């Protein structure tokens, strides 16, 4: 009986209720979006490299080393020497060593110099190997393997030629026009910075920079034959026994040949999350305040409607309704509006992520699954529903206190 009365009452006030429901839906969608994007960003960062036990670079901060070597954010303040890399790679604990060099770009995408072993040993996600969607790995000079996004956005195909530029940035200014590269392979999408990277051999990078000094090309012709690299940006290390990682890290950090730094990617990533926790909590607080504002609007709408429904409630009392039934009617209405708003908000989130998900992955490397609701999100929805019921307590209490005489008395 109360459910039928609540449904009829809500339908009778459908215009006002629709606005209140829309406000709650938007606030719930925002709350869930903040949580979904936070989890997606963490998952995207964590999946960028796996199976790598140590990352080694020149002495700098651990976070800077992680950001420029794994995520290609920023640049190395210094490089490590090639002879130091050879010493480290020859250690008996090492299963594989992947040298990388960064510094050049092509139309806003980073160029990474490495060896063929990169395509064999580099892992992402849940230790997934790199897969070629087309072509092969580079085998000689002036050959380039493209990440999936680079090939898609710039519409490159196998056999096309391109020219890389010295330094980063969206605009290629200091171009290596004298040494074009030929596309020989395209990697399958990974959802990591690999998709936004061009891969060339270390020797090719060294060769095209043979006549460059301090970022400026010297006049005169240069020999662009392959040359042995002299410095590296970083090295990815995989160990035979992961338990030896801490001991090897200490030995590398104490290396006397030059100041080096070895980091454990997972541990350094945890430090990064600890730094961003303040911003994450601030976003959560803003989203929670928006939800609170929506629920306060619900409470205000019910209180306003209560004044307009004095005679309706008095008639219900005259027909035998008890005070607790009147209060329950208000609580049912409050809960129904909140539930409908939460469902609409979740649906709005799903539709928005379904449309924006590919763009988020391509532009920011943030994977989001529209239908992948987590237990934490379910708890947030449950809290919203509980808060919606709480928002109906004051109107329900006001209705409970009303008497039949008050409802039938005209106020002047």
The model's pLDDT over 105-144, given as tens digits with 9 standing for 90+, comes to 898 899 999 999 999 999 988 888 999 999 999 998 889 9
pLDDT at residue number 280: 84
- Minimum mean pLDDT range among 134-138, 244-248, 368-372, 400-404: 400-404
Interval 14-31 mean pLDDT: 87
> What residues pair up with 325 in beta bridges, in sequence order?
none
Domain boundary among 237, 263, 289: 263
**What's the burial of 131, exposed, middle or buried (CB within 10 Å: 0-12/13-18/19+)?**
exposed
Residue position matching structure tokens 């020999």: 223
Residues 108 and 85 in one domain: yes
Question: What distance in Å separates the CA atoms of residue 72 and residue 153, rounded to the nearest whole number?
Answer: 18
Residues 253 and 284 in one domain: no
Domain boundary among 263, 295, 317: 263
> What residues pair up with 96 in beta bridges, in sequence order?
238
Residues 130 and 171 in one domain: yes
| CB-CB contact of 59 with 379 (8 Å) | no
Question: What distance in Å separates the CA atoms of residue 160 and residue 182, rounded to the nearest whole number?
Answer: 6
Residues 368 and 309 in one domain: yes
Q: What is the pLDDT of residues 354-367, one digit of tens each?
A: 888 887 776 666 77
Within a domain: residue 313? Answer: yes
Interval 208-231 mean pLDDT: 61
pLDDT at residue number 212: 56
Domain boundary among 229, 263, 297: 263
What share of the chain in percent tops pLDDT 70?
Answer: 84
Query: pLDDT category, 49, cuts 50, 70, 90?
Result: confident
Residue 203 Cα distances to 75, 166, 272, 310, angstroms: 20, 16, 33, 85
**pLDDT at residue 223 above 60?**
no
Within a domain: residue 234? Answer: yes
- Domain interval for residue 10: 2-45+279-408
Cα torsion angle, 187, 192, 198, 199, sign: negative
Query: Total structural domains in the chain?
Result: 2
Q: How far is CA 410 from the centre of its chain?
A: 60
Residues 145 and 248 in one domain: yes
Residues 102 and 191 in one domain: yes
Within a domain: residue 269? Answer: no
pTM of the model: 0.75
**pLDDT at residue 154 above 90?**
yes
**pLDDT at residue 411 above 80?**
no
Q: What is the DSSP letter of 214?
A: T
Residues 321 and 237 in one domain: no
Compute the 3-state secondary structure of the chain and give helix, strand, coil in percent, each to the nearest 5: 55, 15, 30
Within a domain: residue 273? Answer: no
Query: pLDDT category, 225, cuts 50, 70, 90?
Result: low
Residues 27 and 129 in one domain: no
Within a domain: residue 359? Answer: yes
Question: What distance in Å separates the CA atoms of residue 367 and residue 45, rounded to the nearest whole number?
Answer: 10
For the residues of 270-301, what is the DSSP string, one character each? HHHHHHHHHHHHHHHHHHHHHHHHHHHHHHHH
Residues 22 and 127 in one domain: no
Q: What is the pLDDT of residues 24-46, one digit of tens each?
A: 999 999 999 998 888 888 887 87
Within a domain: residue 310? Answer: yes
| CB-CB contact of 79 with 233 (8 Å) | yes
Residues 346 and 239 in one domain: no
Q: Please give the residue that has the higher pLDDT: either 326 or 384.
A: 384
Instruction: List CB contacts of 223: < 8 A, sequence separation 6 or more.
Output: 207, 210
Q: What is the pLDDT of residues 305-322, one digit of tens each?
A: 777 676 777 677 666 777
Residues 61 and 204 in one domain: yes
**pLDDT at residue 54 above 70?**
yes
Instruction: List CB contacts of 207: < 8 A, sequence separation 6 or more.
Output: 141, 179, 223, 224, 225, 226, 227
Residues 87 and 166 in one domain: yes
**pLDDT at residue 199 above 90?**
yes
Residue position matching structure tokens 């936070």: 38
pLDDT at residue number 25: 92
Task: State phi, psi for 365 to the nearest 5 degrees.
Answer: 65, 30
Within a domain: residue 245? Answer: yes
Question: What distance in Å separates the CA atoms of residue 385 and residue 387, rounded to the nearest whole number?
Answer: 5
Interval 280-293 mean pLDDT: 88
Task: Report the chain's mean pLDDT, rounded to a whole number.
Answer: 84
For the residues of 250-273, what is the DSSP string, one character each? HHHHT-SSS-EEEE-HHHHHHHHH
Cα torsion angle, 116, 121, 125, 129, sign: positive
**pLDDT at residue 91 above 80?**
yes
């Amino acid at each position: 009986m109360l459910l039928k009365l609540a449904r009829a009452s809500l339908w009778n006030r459908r215009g006002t209720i629709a606005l209140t429901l829309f406000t709650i839906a938007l606030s719930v969608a925002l709350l869930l979006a903040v949580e979904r994007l936070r989890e997606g960003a963490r998952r995207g960062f964590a999946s960028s490299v796996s199976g790598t036990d140590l990352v080694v670079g020149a002495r700098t901060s651990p976070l800077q080393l992680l950001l420029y070597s794994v995520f290609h954010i920023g640049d190395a303040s210094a490089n490590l020497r090639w002879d130091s890399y050879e010493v480290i790679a020859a250690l008996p604990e090492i299963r594989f060593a992947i040298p990388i060099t960064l510094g050049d770009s092509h139309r806003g995408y980073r160029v990474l110099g490495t060896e063929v072993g990169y395509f064999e040993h580099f892992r992402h996600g849940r230790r997934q190997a790199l897969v070629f969607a087309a072509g092969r790995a580079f085998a000689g000079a002036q050959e380039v393997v493209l990440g999936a996004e680079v090939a898609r956005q710039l519409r490159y195909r196998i056999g096309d030629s391109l020219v890389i530029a010295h330094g980063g940035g969206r605009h290629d200014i200091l171009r290596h026009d004298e040494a074009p590269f030929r596309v020989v392979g395209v990697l399958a999408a990974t959802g990591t910075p690999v998709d936004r990277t061009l891969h060339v051999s270390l020797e090719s990078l060294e060769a095209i920079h043979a006549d460059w000094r301090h970022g400026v090309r010297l006049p005169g012709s240069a020999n662009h034959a392959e040359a042995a690299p002299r410095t590296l940006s970083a090295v990815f290390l995989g160990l035979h026994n992961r338990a030896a990682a801490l001991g090897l890290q200490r030995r590398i950090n104490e290396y006397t040949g030059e100041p080096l730094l070895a980091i454990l990617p997972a541990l350094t990533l945890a430090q990064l999350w600890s730094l961003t926790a303040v911003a994450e909590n601030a976003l959560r607080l803003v989203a929670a305040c928006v939800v609170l504002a929506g629920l306060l609007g619900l409470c205000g709408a019910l209180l306003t409607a209560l004044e307009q429904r004095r005679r309706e409630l008095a008639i219900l009392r005259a027909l035998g309704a008890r005070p607790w039934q009147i209060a329950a009617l208000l609580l049912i209405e409050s809960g129904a509006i909140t539930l409908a708003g939460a469902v609409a908000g979740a649906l709005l989130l799903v539709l928005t992520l379904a449309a924006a998900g590919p763009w988020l992955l391509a532009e920011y490397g943030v994977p989001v699954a529209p239908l992948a609701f987590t237990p934490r999100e379910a708890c947030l929805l449950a809290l919203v529903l509980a808060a919606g019921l709480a928002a109906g307590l004051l109107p329900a209490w006001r209705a409970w206190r009303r008497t039949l005489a008050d409802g039938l008395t005209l106020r002047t």
